[in-house]
Amino acid sequence: MNWVDHAIWWHTYPLGLAGAPIRDAQPAPAHGLQRLLPWLDHVIELGASGLLLGPIFASASHGYDTLDHFTIDPRLGDDADFDELVEQCRRRGLRILLDGVFSHVADQHPALLDALAEGPESEAAGLFDIDWETRAPRVWEGHGQLARLDHAGQPARELVASVMRHWLARGVDGWRLDAAYSVPVEFWSAVLPGVREEFPDAWFLGEVIHGDYPKFVAEAGVDSLTQYELWKAIWSSINDGNLYELDHAVQRHQGFLNHFTPNTFVGNHDVTRIATTLGPSGAVSALAVLLTLGGIPSIYYGDEYGFTGTKEERVGGDDAVRPELAVSPAEQGMPDHGPTVVDAHRALIALRRRHAWLVTATTEATELSNTRYAYRSSAADGSDHLDVVIDLGGTPPVTITGADGATLWRQSA
């Protein structure tokens, strides 16, 4: 196993976590990355092994509208703050994954403004996908403030490779490739090999929502993809009392594991909080499923406390799922159910770490009905297994048993 096989990510959205203004001007430079430092021991105590960071580079508002890939967002600090975060993570053995927004930039990106002002023969013009008849950049998925890079051209390839190398050399361990699905696979297959040659241990996670996952991995050359199929099936099967849906997704997930190891999750910065969808008990059941299936799991910050929040399709509709944290865990208030939920996270992550073979586990159903689902997750070499029973109408809702028949974890009713 390499380091990725042991990875359990604590996924954060730094601008939100630090309480940075998203749509209003920052009154003065801040040091938001420092807000992460008091939480690093919490990450260790939770059982996670790395930080999966949302955007940290200079941007116009929410971080996904980049202005400069080589500069820390002034709301989050500067190079010194970044170096301190890397050092503090290294002291604790925590890995760091950065969010690489390489499909688009802000429509106010300085190089884009230069290209539009100077015309198609300018030095900057080749970097962007511009309709020169209308002298307007082509936008990303209808968002007028997000301008696409020209992924067919060499300038964009050189920029992205340079950005990746720069921050890998500064101490990070890999990249989450935002909206990787919206970029031609030929772009990734051209960029990643050269970066890997210099940083062979780097890990590349592509954000892909649907489609042929194994085909994308093979053609793009990424290591992993976001497993949205499994995410959807976990919450909706519990919510709807239709565990046949979960079994179907688990079978497909098993097929994916034959080709690559997906990034699995029940919450992230783009979706309604799992405790809002399922309630605290349902959220714990979902976590138990997540951590007893193959994959490289991530825990979205605050989910371990049972945070709630609804994703809405409007300006500011992400705010509720990207909240500020207190300055330290000791000062963090939480819902009444918070202690129960955080205890479940610690216990289930500990179970996962004791059974590290789960990263590539083979899973098969042993019992299935609408409201009751039993499955066995086994080590690839057959040396160990866990038996999991989900009983949506029962007490307890979830039971996990070891190969010797002993109960390893039972969910409180």
Q: What is the pLDDT of residues 163-177, one digit of tens each?
A: 999 999 999 999 999
* pLDDT above 70 (res 404): yes
User: Is the Cβ–Cβ distance between 179 and 103 less than 8 Å?
Assistant: yes
Tell me, yes or no, if the pTM score tops 0.85: yes
Over residues 407-412, the mean pLDDT reads 96
Q: What is the model's pLDDT at position 338?
A: 74
- What is the rounded distance in angstroms from the CA atom of residue 302 to the CA atom of residue 369? 32
Q: How confident is the model at residue 99 (pLDDT cuts 50, 70, 90)?
A: very high
Work out the percent of the chain whose per-residue pLDDT is above 70. 99
Measured at the alpha carbon of residue 303, what is the angle toward residues 334 and 80, in degrees to the nearest 5? 90
- Stretch 90-112: mean pLDDT: 98
- Long-range contacts (CB closer than 8 Å, 24 or more residues apart) made by 396-400: 397/281, 397/284, 397/285, 398/284, 398/285, 398/288, 398/289, 400/288, 400/292, 400/351
The whole-number pLDDT of residue 153 equals: 96
| pLDDT higher than 80, residue 413 | no
Question: Which pLDDT value is given to residue 27?
Answer: 67
d(CA 175, CA 98): 5
**pLDDT band at 238, cuts 50/70/90?**
very high
- The mean pLDDT of 355-383, rounded to a whole number, is 97
- By percentage, how much of the chain surpasses pLDDT 90? 95
Determine the average pLDDT of the residues in 251-255.
98
Give me the CATH topology for the region 3-359. Answer: TIM Barrel (3.20.20)
pLDDT digits (tens, 9 = 90+) for 176-217: 999 999 999 999 999 999 999 999 999 999 999 999 999 999
Between strands 203-206 and 174-177, the pairing is: parallel
| Mean pLDDT score of the chain | 96
- Determine the pLDDT at residue 311: 97
Confidence at 336, pLDDT banded by 50, 70, 90: confident
Q: Is 92 exposed, middle or buried (0-12, 13-18, 19+ CB in 10 A)?
A: exposed
- How far apart CA 246 and CA 323 sit, in angstroms, is 30
Rounded to whole angstroms, how far apart are CA atoms 56 and 75? Answer: 9
What pLDDT digit, counting tens, does each position of 25-66 carry? 666 779 999 999 999 999 999 999 999 999 999 999 999 999
Give the domain ranges of the chain.
3-359
Residue 334 pLDDT level (bands cut at 50, 70, 90): confident
List the one residue out of 260, 271, 275, 152 whose CA is nearest residue 209. 271
- At 243, the amino acid letter reads L
Q: What is the largest CA-CA distance in the chain?
A: 72
Please give the full DSSP string across 7-58, using - where no structure is assigned.
--EEEE-HHHHTT--SSS--SS---GGGGGGGGHHHHHHHT--EEEE---EE
The identity of residue 137, as a single letter, is P
Residue 1: pLDDT band by 50, 70, 90 thresholds? low
